Amino acid sequence: MVWIGVALLGYFFNAVTAVLDKYLLSGPIKTPAVYAFFVAIFSLFALGFAPFGFHFVDWQVTGILLLSGAIFLYGLVAFYSAVQGWNISRIAPLVGIVVSFVAFVAIFLPGFSEAQFTAGHIIALLFLIIGGGLLAFDLPLKPHEYVPWQVLVAGMAMGVSLLLLKYGYREVNFVTGLVWSRMGLFLAGMSLFLIPSFRRQILSSMQGASISNASNVSTSLVFIVNKTLAGIGSFLVVYATFLGPVSFVQALSGMQYLFLLLLAFPLCHFFPMVYCEKLFFWDWVQRISAILFIGIGLWLAATSGVTLLV
């Protein structure tokens, strides 16, 4: 049962990463395109895995892996834009629901899954949607509440990216897929220079970073720590999948959103403009119910044949 602790620790690191994303986008790094650009630069560290199994493959597989990384980068731009304007504890689950929906639709596409459409799939999807809605909106619904278009773009882009990566992994080993997809992410980051507004934002941030001061050093350290924790979290979840049953590791992913709520609550006292969200007793009941819905939905999806991109 060691895999349970490993999975929970991985999801905890992912929650910490999301909290730090919100902090960075709320002040030190004000534009999502700039943040995504630096994430693309950081992705070059994947080249360090090249000596451990990387090899060149045919141009079709290489193109699929490069495209996977590129689409993921553009999804990050939309995700960071949504995080900047909304509460992270609401945006993260909504994006996750859209990714799950893309995975669900993919079961009908040739080459991605042999699973048959069943009532269990529909019930699982309903649980996921209801759970995401409970986290994203306060009940009763108000007329002005809506789902940001950035959430839909981010979720669809990340879902398609993962589907392409999964397809590519049928032809290559883990290291080769990792390196080529990260190279695609890097190239997409460079392509942001082709958009005039993004180019101005990136160049401006680089000029500001060239002036050494305590603020820039602090921002750089937080960013590096953040991306390091993101890598550790991903590794732990994959390792938990290796140690234990995939379906239950997936079901535990709902705990990431609970960790988000627990982390954001104390931070509200120190960064009220960034993390504060007024939650009363029934708000907590709604959030906890949402976590249960998501957990049950993921478990039903896994046990009824939907692999959810694993």
Does residue 118 or residue 229 have the better pLDDT?
Answer: 229
Between CA 97 and CA 103 the distance in angstroms is 10
C-alpha distances (whole Å) from 177 to each of 67, 69, 70, 114, 238 are 12, 10, 13, 23, 15
pTM here is: 0.78
Residue with tokens 């249960």: 292
> Which range has the top average pLDDT, 2-6, 155-159, 208-212, 239-243?
155-159
Q: Name the pLDDT band for 271 (thresholds 50, 70, 90).
A: low
> Which range has the top average pLDDT, 29-38, 52-61, 287-296?
52-61
Residue 82 confidence (pLDDT): 86
Q: Name the pLDDT band for 136 (thresholds 50, 70, 90).
A: low
Between CA 78 and CA 84 the distance in angstroms is 10
Instruction: Over range 242-255, report the average pLDDT.
Output: 59
Task: Name the nearest CA neighbour of 111 among 168, 66, 159.
Answer: 168
Residue 310 confidence (pLDDT): 47
Quick one: CA dihedral 180, 183, 189, 191, positive or negative?
negative
Residue with tokens 């910490």: 16
Residue 114 confidence (pLDDT): 46
Q: Is the pLDDT of residue 250 over 60?
A: no
Does residue 218 or residue 190 have the better pLDDT?
Answer: 190
Between CA 265 and CA 39 the distance in angstroms is 27
Does residue 135 or residue 242 have the better pLDDT?
Answer: 135
pLDDT in tens, 164-191: 887 887 888 878 888 898 899 999 999 9
Least reliable range by pLDDT among 28-32, 37-41, 185-189: 28-32
Does residue 183 or residue 114 have the better pLDDT?
Answer: 183
User: CB within 8 A of 166, min separation 6: which ones?
Assistant: 112, 309
Residue 167 confidence (pLDDT): 81
Does residue 54 or residue 282 have the better pLDDT?
Answer: 54
Other Cβ atoms less than 10 A from the Cβ of 49: the count is 15
Whether a cis peptide bond, with omega within 30° of 0, leads into 140 is yes
